[in-house]
């Protein structure tokens, strides 16, 4: 980090007060998070392996009832979001058509990546026209839309079906995962915080968030249960959905390392070598999804990295240092405020900056209590998704960062704090949804 900081200081050409302060703060908080995490992480890997406990929610037949409660809650909140979004559209336009007739307009579907995924599902990847840029979008989500369309008869409704079914599945897996460490009540709060996150409305519409989330949670759940191959298969599928899926190899490797460290002290060398070989073989599965996507690029365009060329030339997107993102995003906030550009200020730059700072602080606050592999995952995920040189969608990217929900539960143990954070999330979510429906530049 010191070397990277020196490199940035030498290479940086913009030294505005606001931007430099934001970059320094982001850098400092991230280092603080690392300092807090390293001793917890190393102690976890080297520690004794506790016996698996029976999750509280599975006792006395409560599992089925709790699952039913979660499913009904998810269905109810999905329906409520549709009604709220429709009401916001009516308020904005003064009048509107029927709820179903205005779905595309209400959910701003022509202004986000939904149209690209639907286009891939219907026509596949092409090499001509504007649709040639669709190669930057990974294949699994449109493949599922293509399959579900056989039953719905319509690609848009299939997209909504895939997203919402995956969201319900993600809620159930999140609950089961939380039960490995928490009481039933706190596990339900994890589900709550995932789906009241200010940008959680993206789980409703045909975007990759729901699918990526459920695959991420399944990967972590299986590795926590020592089902390594299933964990790595889910990570591979996540990597075939969105490129950050490859980062799931980090928490998987942490959990494997813990098991191997314990096994080294308790078994013979031959048995340990066999288990280590299995771990390496399973971990090698995790990158296969992303490698398959590179092959799709090669098969379509002749270049396995064509997506990166389009991202750089068409979207001006490169990977760089995440604290530089905090710098230029803050400078854009100041510029938009001075110029009276409320659309860019409220739709893009201010939400991005608030999300970068608040998520980092939340994980820092809970780093010594949060499951160590979750913290490790957030660290690499944060550096990856905040690093692009033209970041537009930070709130959406952090909606699928599941450690945030676990951290929120850990820092809101008393009822007052839980209520306060819930209210903040709900108000923030309502305001962000309103801006989205009203056509602000939210991607």
Predicted structure pTM score: 0.95
CB atoms within 10 A of CB 325: 24
pLDDT of residue 61: 64
Q: How many CB atoms lie within 10 A of CB 75?
A: 12
- Quick: pLDDT tens for 303-315: 999 999 999 998 8
Q: What does the pLDDT read at residue 434?
A: 97
pLDDT for 59 equals 53
Domain boundaries, the chain: 1-46+315-411
Region of residue 129 (left: phi > 0; alpha: psi -120 to 50; beta: else): left
**Nearest-CA neighbor of 403 among 207, 245, 204, 216?**
216
| Residue indicated by tokens 């813990």 | 258
- Residue 387 phi/psi, 5-degree rounding, is -70, -25
Three-state SS for 397-434 is: HHHCCCHHHHHHHHCCCCHHHHHHHHHHHHHHHHHHHH
Q: Using only the alpha carbons of the chain, give its radius of gyration.
A: 22
- Dist CA 231 CA 408 (whole Å): 25
pLDDT of residue 93: 87
10-residue block means of pLDDT along the chain (443 residues)?
96 95 97 96 79 48 90 97 94 80 87 95 94 96 97 95 98 97 96 98 98 98 97 98 97 96 90 96 97 97 96 90 97 97 97 98 96 98 96 97 98 96 98 96 95
Phi-psi region for residue 417, left (φ > 0), alpha (ψ -120 to 50) or beta?
alpha
Task: Look at residue 98 in the predicted model and tell me its pLDDT.
Answer: 79
- pLDDT attached to residue 207: 97
What are the tens digits of pLDDT across the range 19-65? 999 999 999 999 999 999 999 999 999 975 454 454 444 555 688 99
pLDDT at residue number 410: 97
Instruction: Report pLDDT for 48.
Output: 54
């Amino acid at each position: 980090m010191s070397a990277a900081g020196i490199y940035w200081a030498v290479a940086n050409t913009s030294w505005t007060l606001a931007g430099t302060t934001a970059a320094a703060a982001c850098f400092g908080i991230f280092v603080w998070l690392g300092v807090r995490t390293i001793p917890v992480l190393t102690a976890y890997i080297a520690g004794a392996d506790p016996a698996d406990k029976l999750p509280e929610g599975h006792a006395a037949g409560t599992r089925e009832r709790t699952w039913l409660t979660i499913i009904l809650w998810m269905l109810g909140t999905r329906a409520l979001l549709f009604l709220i979004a429709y009401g916001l559209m009516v308020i904005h336009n003064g009048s509107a058509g029927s709820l179903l007739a205005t779905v595309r307009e209400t959910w701003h579907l022509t202004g986000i990546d939904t149209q690209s995924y639907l286009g891939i599902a219907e026509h596949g990847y092409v090499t001509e026209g504007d649709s040639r840029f669709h190669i930057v979008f990974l294949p699994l989500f449109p493949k599922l839309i293509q399959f579900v369309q056989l039953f719905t008869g319509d690609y848009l409704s299939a997209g909504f079906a895939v997203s919402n079914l995956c969201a319900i599945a993600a809620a159930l897996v999140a609950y089961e995962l939380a039960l490995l460490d928490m009481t039933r009540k706190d596990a339900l709060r994890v589900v709550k915080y995932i789906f009241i996150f200010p940008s959680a409305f993206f789980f409703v519409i045909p975007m990759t968030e729901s699918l990526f989330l459920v695959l991420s949670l399944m990967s972590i759940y299986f590795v926590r249960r020592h089902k390594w191959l299933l964990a790595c298969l889910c990570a591979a599928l996540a990597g075939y959905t969105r490129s950050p899926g490859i980062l799931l190899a980090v928490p998987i490797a942490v959990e494997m390392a813990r098991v191997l460290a314990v096994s080294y002290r308790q078994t013979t060398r031959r048995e340990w070598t066999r288990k280590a070989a299995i771990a390496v073989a399973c971990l090698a599965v995790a990158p296969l999804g992303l490698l398959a996507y590179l092959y799709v690029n090669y098969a379509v365009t002749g270049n396995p990295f064509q997506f990166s060329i389009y991202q750089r030339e068409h979207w001006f997107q490169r990977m760089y240092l995440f604290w530089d993102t905090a710098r230029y995003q803050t400078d854009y906030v100041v510029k938009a405020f001075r110029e009276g550009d409320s659309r860019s200020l409220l739709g893009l730059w201010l939400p991005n900056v608030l999300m970068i700072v608040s998520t980092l602080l939340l994980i820092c606050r809970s780093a010594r209590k949060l499951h160590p592999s979750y913290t490790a995952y957030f660290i690499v995920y944060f550096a990856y998704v905040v690093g692009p040189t033209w970041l537009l969608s930070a709130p959406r990217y952090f909606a699928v960062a599941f450690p945030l929900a676990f951290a929120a539960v850990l820092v809101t143990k008393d009822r007052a704090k839980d209520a306060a954070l819930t209210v903040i999330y709900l108000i923030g979510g309502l305001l962000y949804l309103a801006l989205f429906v009203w056509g602000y530049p939210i991607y």
